[in-house]
Amino acid sequence: MKKIYKAALILSVAAFALAGCAKKEAAAGSASSSSSSSSSSSSSGSAKAAAAAGTSGGKVLNIYVWNEEFQSRFNDFYAKKLPSDVTVNWVITPNQGNAYQNKLDETLLAQDKAAANDKIDIFLVEADYALKYVDTDYTLDVKKEIGLSDSDLSQQYKYTKDIMTDSKGTLKGVSWQACPAGFIYRRSFAKKVLGTDDPAEVQKQLDSWDKFDAVAAKMKAAGYFMLSGFDDAFRVFTDNVTSPWVVDGKINIDPQVRRWIQQTKEYTDKGYNNKANLWSPESGQGAGKNGRVFGYFGPGWFIDFCLAGWAADDATQPFIAGNGSCGDWAFCEGPQGFSWGGTWICAARGTDNLDLVKDIMYTMTCDKETAKKISEQTGDFTNNEAAMTEVANGSYKSTFLGGQNHLALLLQNAKKIDKSNISAYDQGMSEKLQAAMADYYNGIISEEQAWTNFYTAISELYPNLKK
């Protein structure tokens, strides 16, 4: 059976050799940390399941990630619970060029032969390629093998569990965050052009794409860019598709994808965007004190992990008024509801820290008080409905957003997130399409040629698919 699963992962690597869907990347490398004592929570799995899954009592906890986001959450909200004799080894490999997945795949394939201190204990995945790992034996059953119960998991948003459920109905990973998203805009630009910076009033002028386009024209006339570049609205449209990227073995282009292409070409030609690519320095610079970008689409993690750092003159200091453009931002729902991203914690089969992995999963993704602390201290929308209801209705205010409680606006949207059209092809399709269309937006090639380039790239990446 193990050979079958190894073959499946090898084929999966060949079929889904994709570049990582990115948040801000960290440099490759590793770091170590250790702190004080731990206790395990919730129900336990059977002894037989535990033996198959791994063992407990290891002294090195190996965590594989692609950036520093989870590391910061772990250090701030869990590290104090670590046993004093356990060292955490962070293996951080950037997403670029598929490096993270390549490193992870190589190490997973050697997991059963690795020394105890070298075995992967925890690894993280994103929605765009989660299915690649969910349907293999390299991820442990969260309930039967790790030991979390239905009661433990009851407050997590359903879609976060659906994404990590395999074809047999087995849950293979958990997340500390849910990712309903909206539009984050500059208050001072809104006051100048729209006459108000109040989120409810601004939303009235942005609650449809026709209105959004009209405001884009006004921002252009005032010397601002509505968006930073080509890819800013991509996730809004693709999260609202009514069909997956692949249907019966054929590449499928949903009308929402075509709508993104049409709008982005129009915005580029009319000067409504800054012609920046997502994650480029130019995109981030538009948020600075002297930047001219009106707004960005994104969820809670984007505000905390990306936008705040771009906006600040000094990212090591609090994100408050006076530090760059911090405090001059606000949040509204925008023209169309959507979600974007998310990071899931998976336990690797063969771990020698099974009890510790269980407690990390419970504390970071099931415990209401931890979820509240993460949201209140970072602005991230956490994956606990009870916790988020309390924070949304409480006294929380974001200094970056000028004192706004943006989480209250996201509360209802989180319940509506539907990922039924997600597929294992999402990351590759998205990245190849964005790359192919960039030259079209810049006027270098025709749309027809851009589509030809896209299909050529996809045929090389997924030779099993038909046009």
DSSP state of 21: P
Contact 382, 364 (CB under 8 A): no
Residues 6+ apart with CB under 8 A from 386: 155, 368
Q: Contact 184/163 with Cβ under 8 angstroms?
A: no
Element (DSSP H or E) covering residue 31: strand 29-33
What's the pLDDT score for residue 55? 87
Instruction: Show the beta-strand stretches assigned E in 202-333.
Output: 227-229, 246-247, 250-251, 273-276, 295-299, 329-332
Q: Could you read off the pLDDT of 121-139 as tens digits, one per residue?
A: 999 999 889 989 999 999 9
What are 281's two structure tokens? 């320095």
Which residue type does 135 have?
D
User: What is the full per-residue pLDDT of the chain (467 aa) written as tens digits?
Assistant: 333 334 445 444 434 333 333 333 333 333 333 333 333 333 333 334 444 577 889 999 999 999 999 999 999 999 999 999 999 999 999 988 889 999 999 999 999 999 999 999 999 999 889 989 999 999 999 999 999 999 999 999 999 999 999 999 999 999 999 999 999 999 999 999 999 999 999 999 999 999 999 999 999 999 999 999 999 999 999 999 999 999 999 999 999 999 999 999 999 999 999 999 989 999 999 999 999 999 999 999 999 999 999 999 999 999 999 999 999 999 999 999 999 999 999 999 999 999 999 999 999 999 999 999 999 999 999 999 999 999 999 999 999 999 999 999 999 889 889 999 998 899 899 999 999 999 999 999 999 999 999 999 999 999 999 99
- What angle, rounded to 10 degrees, do the helices at 426-441 and 447-461 form? 150
* Partners of 61 in the β-ladder: 88
C-alpha span between 365 and 347 (Å, rounded): 13
* Span between the terminal Cα atoms of the chain, in Å: 34
Report how far residue 447's alpha carbon sits from residue 264's, in angstroms, rounded to the nearest whole number. 12
Tokens of 309: 């750092």
